[in-house]
Amino acid sequence: MPDSLWLNPVVRLLLLGTHDNESPLRKLRGLDVIVRAVLDHLMAVWRAQLCTDRRGYVQLREVEGMRISATITAEPIEFRPHIVTFPPPLTRFIDGMEMPKPFHVNMMPFIIGDRKSLPPECQRYVQLLNECYSPGQQGKVGYLTIHEGVVEAGASQRRPGLHVEAPNAMQLQTTKVGGGASSFQWREIRWGRGWYLEKQLLGGIYMASTVANSCSVWNTVVADDNDIVGTLGETDVLYGTLDRDRDGYYELQANELIWITDRTPHESLPVATTQFRQYFRFVTSDVSVWFADHSTPNPLGIQPTATIIHGSKFDGNLSIEPKAKAGTP
């Protein structure tokens, strides 16, 4: 279960420690009242880090409905998922049969609203990009992810585990960034941000896939000024803390386009059967860092406006690419 308390690594460590004769936590064995009190305290601390007054996701039909309601009628409108049409996947011939071809670009920079800034194999997604509301974004650098390929039953195509897109700036800086970049200071790292204000979507992230129930989101936002977010955005401590009803747990339908913030807890879910899945993500322009080793450069030469980071963000030291001086080609 996505909200299982056992998936919470801190809770799991605490409970396993009470049964480990080599752990100091063994002294809590049998003291269920104390263990329960510790768990209740931890969950209260974690819960306090949620901005429950902010929207974590918005179904785009809701925005359409509000606009129609404001201009035409005061009658309530039934909100429905915003279903889009995915372009056909690329194909190749295998043993004389035409089969879908895997394709993957990740966080590829492009000019929002400019079809010509996309490579030919990505231009088939222009119509889907046009479905995204992006006021004030035209002409800025956005970031496109397309992931098309076979996903095995029981596996997830994208990143598993509960997480937000915006990494923990201080942890990333302290544990990963080395070389000559130690003096670089991050107060926060933005990955599209995202605000829902006065029936308008500002910034944020748009995503969709062709497989139902393969991605889940929560309708809340993790606060910017806390340490429950891991170096790369992990929020596993929210397992068991988030409540499906109170915090608006939702699994996307097939071909449903949805908007989230870069602090929205979400995760890629395992698929029930082996199948070909297409995934689309559009991150708007307010991005702080671009991980070169994990992202796709645009072959047309469009450069990210974010700070460029080199090295593996999972197991290696990271270094910051120096900014080019004015006039430098």
- Each residue's pLDDT tens digit in the chain (329 positions)? 345 788 888 888 998 999 888 889 888 888 889 999 999 999 899 999 999 889 999 988 766 644 434 344 444 444 578 999 999 999 999 899 999 999 999 999 999 999 999 999 999 999 999 999 777 899 999 999 999 999 999 999 998 899 999 988 776 766 555 544 444 455 678 999 999 887 788 999 999 999 999 999 999 999 866 678 988 889 999 999 999 999 999 999 999 999 999 999 999 999 999 999 999 999 999 999 999 999 999 999 999 999 999 988 877 677 887 765 433 33
CB atoms within 10 A of CB 160: 12
At which residue do the structure tokens 């109170």 appear?
246
Choose among 107, 189, 190: nearest CA to 141: 107
Please report how many Cα atoms fall inside a 13 Å half-sphere around the Cα of residue 6, on the Cβ side.
2
In order of 54, 142, 150, 175, 214, the CA distances from 250 in angstroms are 16, 26, 24, 33, 11
**Residue 119 neighbours by CB distance under 10 Å:** 15
Query: Would you state the pLDDT for residue 2?
Result: 42
Task: Please give the pLDDT value at position 165.
Answer: 94
Residues 129 and 113: their CA atoms lie apart, in Å, by 8
pLDDT at 126: 98
CA 270 to chain centre: 16
Helix (H) or strand (E) holding 308: strand 307-310
Token look-up 């889907």 returns 128
Name, in order, each residue with C-beta under 8 angstroms of 213's C-beta and a sequence gap of 6 or more: 251, 252, 253, 269, 272
Give the span between the Cα atoms of 85 and 74, in whole angstroms: 30
Instruction: Identify the CA nearest to 235 among candidates 62, 51, 7, 65.
Output: 7
Rounded CA-CA distance 77/216 in Å is: 24
Phi, then psi, of 307 in degrees rounded to 5: -65, 130
> What pairing do the DSSP bridges indicate for beta strands 103-111 and 141-151?
antiparallel
pTM of the entire predicted model? 0.87
How far, CA to CA in Å, does 38 sit from each of 3, 14, 42, 45, 294? 19, 9, 6, 11, 39
Q: What is residue 151's predicted lDDT score, i.e. its pLDDT? A: 98
- The pairing of beta strand 275-283 with beta strand 97-100: unpaired
Q: Which of 215, 251, 255, 211 is nearest to 84 (CA)?
A: 255
Token code pair at residue 271: 């698929």
Report the C-alpha gap between 116 and 219 in whole angstroms: 35
Strands 289-291, 256-260: parallel, antiparallel or unpaired by DSSP? unpaired
DSSP SS3 for 67: helix
